[in-house]
Structure 1
Amino acid sequence: MIKFFRIVLLIILVVTATLVTAQEKKRKSKTRIGSQVGAVRNSGAAVYKNRSFDSDPIAYLEEGQKVKISRKKYKASDGFGLFYKIVVNKKIKGYISDVEVVPQFTKTKYSKKIKENPDFEEMTKKPEEEQEPMLFTRYFGLQLAMIDYTEKFADKTLNSQTLMYGLKLSGPGYLLEQVPLDIDVLLSMTPPAYYDERLATAPTTGFFLVSNIGLKVPFIDTPHSIIYYSLGLTGSYTNFTLTIGSTNLDVQEFKIGAVGGLGAAMRFSRKYFMQVDWKYYYEKTQYMGYNASFGFKY
């Protein structure tokens, strides 16, 4: 069975190599015919019946239109100017002035060798898609955050660095059509470490949620990056089961407040973005957080 597959693979490789060689020969044979592609330089360029400006025009072309032209230039029958033979379609064949068309190939300065014409490449390349400013582009992604979460418990101020995961939404159109916003939704299924380190006599269970929405105001804005500050609202919700001695306490709290921050974002490959933020939360307690997010345009 293995030998059979080897034979089949060998046959496939031979057939593929043969087809590639045939295609290459076909391409080279086409090159030797003496034709090339040309791009029309100006709208209204005339195609003449004969190689003379006094000849009757038989068609007019549009700027950037691609046509088939000869490699050779022909002197005008009356001695004024040079012309390419041109084939627009099966019905329109004639001559066009060499100043009205950009040829695909050009000769090198000190030899008869031909090379790709850079002017042709420049004229026929597709224009880059115009991008919206980064501030007004909508992005969606995932983020990782380290929050120095702080609470007051029994007249004690407790805080610890807590890892959180969540979603990042950035740009206009989420709540207000033309207003660029920065929205975070962060979740931790692990309670802050200070519960077990300073209060609990058994492992604490539960989760907490932090969410905020802020207006982004740039002070450095380039086509593919932005540095900004943000101001907005924040809210947090905690739900923990805390064991102290023989007592189980159900600790739930919802807090709202304000949030401000500094951030920087960069986009690449025209579609993806990466963003980092520092935020300061001001609610019943005050604390800081650091966020890193990655996502895509949509």
Structure 2
Amino acid sequence: MASPLAHAQSQQATIVNDGAMVYQNDDFDAPVIGTVKRGAVYSISSGKKGPFYKIRLKPGTVGWIADTDVKPGVHRVAAPKKEKMKPLSDAEKPEPKVKPFFASRFRGITYDHIYFTEETIGGSQSEYMGFLGVKFYGFNTLFDGEIYTESNLIFSPSAPKYYEDITGRSAGGFIFIADFLFQTPTPRGKNAMTYYGFGPMFRYSQFNLEVPDGTRTLNYSAVDMTVGAVFNFGLGFRIQRVSLRLDAKYYWERTQYYGFGANAGLDF
């Protein structure tokens, strides 16, 4: 079988551009079947079809190459000169790209002021209590993908004051709350946004109580563990790498109560 480029129809040519692309057809939108190195010599067609020469890459394999990438004849092609890079001044250096606020993720400390409510000692009791903890929020914090989430682990190292008011004796203990919210940040700007969300929550509390019983004092531990849901709405601001957030939360478990939080976080 005759070669796709017969001697009478072919010529030698030198590749003048490194990494020149060879196409399957005479069309820049055609699939690329290979690349060739600057200075290499190949057989090409003596005539062109539009801006393309037919090129023989190896026996049985032909393609099309742009006329700007080849020079008919065998030539010595010098290596391209490497330009010396002049150091950029501070004014010329490009500013580092910063992700939008809503696309960044943060972790930091949080303080929550919660109107804690529970059913105990014969009725519903409520008390404002302070909680300290850690907060994680943003995309890809716990799950991969485009899911904006928030996680909180908060702790109050004391018992509600209503135990002391009712029993007349001191009470100790703690409350631990963990929650996880799927959030929607909207509207959102470069350095500010609002958000709302909901998700599951878990609470564990343990209180050490002294209860008078006639002439005696009974000591016992009140332990409670429950799950529920939490809803929130808030505002967020960013100053360089620091995020500041204020939010309101509504807890729905065995009882219902609300709280307010403030958080400072650093991106990571």
- Give the TM interval when normalised to the shorter protein: 0.5 to 0.7
Deviations 1:201-224 (A, max 9, x none): 310011111111101102210011
Query: Counterpart of 1:262?
Result: 233
User: Which amino acid in the other structure matches residue 137 of structure 2?
Assistant: S
- Segments of 5+ residues of structure 1 without an aligned counterpart are 1-58, 68-119
Superposition TM-score, scaled by structure 2 size: 0.64
**Map of 1:34-53 to 2, 5 A cutoff?**
none
Superposition TM-score, scaled by structure 1 size: 0.57
Q: Give the CA deviation at 1:60.
A: 8.6
Counting matched residue pairs gives 184
Q: Give the CA deviation at 1:157.
A: 0.5
**Map of 1:15-30 to 2, 5 A cutoff?**
none
CA distance in 2 between counterparts of 1:134 and 1:295 reads 12
- Is 1:190 equivalent to 2:158 in the alignment? yes
Instruction: Identify, as 1 or 2, the structure richer in strand.
Output: 2
User: Which amino acid in the other structure matches residue 183 of structure 1?
Assistant: S
CA distance in 2 between counterparts of 1:60 and 1:182 reads 50
Q: Report the RMSD for the aligned CA atoms in angstroms.
A: 2.3
Q: Give the CA deviation at 1:174.
A: 2.9
- Is 1:141 equivalent to 2:102 in the alignment? no
Query: Counterpart of 1:253?
Result: 224
Query: Counterpart of 2:131?
Result: 164
Q: Give the CA deviation at 1:252.
A: 0.4
Deviations 1:169-213 (A, max 9, x none): 111223211222111111011111111122x23100111111111
User: Which amino acid in the other structure matches residue 206 of structure 1?
Assistant: G
Query: Counterpart of 1:295?
Result: 265
- Segments of 5+ residues of structure 2 without an aligned counterpart are 1-80
User: Which amino acid in the other structure matches residue 285 of structure 1?
Assistant: T
Give me the identity figure in percent.
Answer: 24
User: Which amino acid in the other structure matches residue 212 of structure 1?
Assistant: D
Query: Counterpart of 1:128?
Result: 95
User: Which amino acid in the other structure matches residue 252 of structure 1?
Assistant: V
The residue matched to 1:284 in structure 2 has which SS? coil
- Is 1:235 equivalent to 2:205 in the alignment? no
CA distance in 2 between counterparts of 1:154 and 1:220 reads 45
CA distance in 2 between counterparts of 1:193 and 1:126 reads 59
- Is 1:274 equivalent to 2:244 in the alignment? yes
The residue matched to 2:142 in structure 1 has which SS? coil
CA distance in 2 between counterparts of 1:184 and 1:231 reads 12
**Map of 1:80-159 to 2, 5 A cutoff?**
125-159=92-126
Equivalent in 283, 292, 296 of residue 253 of structure 2: 283
Equivalent in 172, 180, 186 of residue 148 of structure 2: 180
Equivalent in 189, 213, 217 of residue 222 of structure 1: 189
The residue matched to 2:163 in structure 1 has which SS? helix
User: Which amino acid in the other structure matches residue 233 of structure 2?
Assistant: L
The residue matched to 1:265 in structure 2 has which SS? strand
- Is 1:212 equivalent to 2:179 in the alignment? yes
CA distance in 2 between counterparts of 1:134 and 1:216 reads 14
Instruction: Identify, as 1 or 2, the structure richer in helix.
Output: 1
Q: Taking CA–CA contacts closer than 8 Å with sequence separation of 6 or more, which of the two structures ends up with the larger relative contact order?
A: 2
Query: Counterpart of 2:69?
Result: none
CA distance in 2 between counterparts of 1:234 and 1:128 reads 41
CA distance in 1 between counterparts of 2:222 and 2:190 reads 47
- Is 1:202 equivalent to 2:169 in the alignment? yes
User: Which amino acid in the other structure matches residue 144 of structure 2?
Assistant: E
